[in-house]
Amino acid sequence: MAQIIDGKAVSARVKANVRKEADELKKQGIEIGLAVVIVGNDPASRVYVNNKKKACEEVGFTSYEYALPEETTEKELLELVDKLNNDDKVNGILVQLPLPKQINENSIINAIRPDKDVDAFHPANVGHIMIGDFSFLPCTPAGVMELIAETGVDVCGKNCVVIGRSNIVGKPMAMLLLHKHGTVTICHSRTKDLAEICARADILVAAVGKAKFVTPDMIKEGAVVIDVGMNRNENGKLCGDVDYDACFDKAGYITPVPGGVGPMTIAMLMKNTLTAAKIKNNIK
Ligand code: BQF
């Protein structure tokens, strides 16, 4: 039977630590601000943006929301990013993805000042992550690392399998596991014998985007199973990439959805924003 990794509890701890440091900075007259930019009316994006604004309140940051209409042009969004790049009240800039189709996501990401890029999506920050010399960790992979640490399982020398190869989760996830000396395999839609590869994993991270993709035959007895998925099932209920009920007895540790990786993503965003403010103010 698996032990449940409580992402809600771990995220509360991370946010409490951020709050403590933010309060200290406030005593020195330093206010921390996060700009949250949302373009269009995607309901899921609205929920995520609200979660981020609420977390800002919890840790004592000021959030500045910019809600732009669906038909916003790339030029208009670039102008806003430029304004935020030069706004001293703004320590971090978060542009909620995905963006409407007329806007090229990479051109927006490339325009964000790397020292305000709290999502760590800018190529300069991606490069830092690859080298292992970073100030901002990508939020979701960083949150996953915290959850793995919570189990007490040491990544060093373990077989780690990441399913999914996105720039936001899969690729940076593999890199963070590698930095902790894991033996890392990245699986994706073209992978042959995916189930067999997964079944050898001591640590399995699923970031596929398909409900119930991970079944018990793909899990090694006692493995750490981290579910990054955010899907809706046939009843509209939030569910991950792992068939949780079916895998529960076989896994050693498992993250639930909701209440697993999701809250950690938000907490790590707060941590990155604090880091941005500390760097700007020359605080160690
Ligand atoms: C929870 C995201 C896919 C694509 C773009 C808490 C969040 C989700 C779940 C959340 C996500 C997913 C976010 C829970 C932010 C995580 O209690 O389980 C928080 O707000 N997330 C995002 O900003 O963009 C996404 C998933």
pLDDT at 269 over 90: yes
Residue nearest atom 24 of ligand 1, based on CA coordinates: 48
pLDDT at 234 over 90: no
pLDDT at 180 over 90: yes
pLDDT of 159:
98
> In 10 A of CB 258, how many CB atoms?
14
Domain with CATH 3.40.50.720 in the chain: 139-262
CATH hierarchy code of domain 29-113: 3.40.50.10860
pLDDT of 67:
98
Residue 4 β-bridge partners? 254
> In 10 A of CB 259, how many CB atoms?
16
What percentage of the chain reaches a pLDDT higher than 90? 97
Ligand 1 touching residue 265 (CB < 6 A): yes
**SS3 label, residue 99:** coil
Ligand 1 touching residue 51 (CB < 6 A): yes
pLDDT band at 271 (very low <50, low <70, confident <90, very high): very high
Q: How far is the CA of 29 from the centre of ligand 1 (A)?
A: 32
Q: How far is the CA of 265 from the centre of ligand 1 (A)?
A: 7
Strand 159-163 to 62-68 pairing: unpaired
Residue nearest atom 8 of ligand 1, based on CA coordinates: 262
CATH hierarchy code of domain 139-262: 3.40.50.720
pLDDT of 231:
96
Atom of ligand 1 nearest to the CA of 98: 5
pLDDT of 233:
86
- The predicted model gives 46-67 an average pLDDT of 98
Phi, psi (deg, nearest 5) at residue 276? -60, -45
pLDDT in tens, 215-225: 999 999 999 99
Ligand 1 touching residue 148 (CB < 6 A): no
pLDDT in tens, 99-144: 999 999 999 999 999 999 999 999 999 999 999 988 999 999 999 9
Residue nearest atom 12 of ligand 1, based on CA coordinates: 262
pLDDT in tens, 146-167: 999 999 999 999 999 999 999 9
Global model pTM greater than 0.95? yes
Ligand 1 touching residue 259 (CB < 6 A): yes
Domain with CATH 3.40.50.10860 in the chain: 29-113
Ligand 1 touching residue 140 (CB < 6 A): no
pLDDT at 64 over 90: yes
Q: Who wins on pLDDT, 236 or 189?
A: 189
pLDDT at 236 over 90: no
Catalytic residues: 52, 96, 119
Instruction: Say if CB 118 and CB 94 are below 8 A apart.
Output: yes
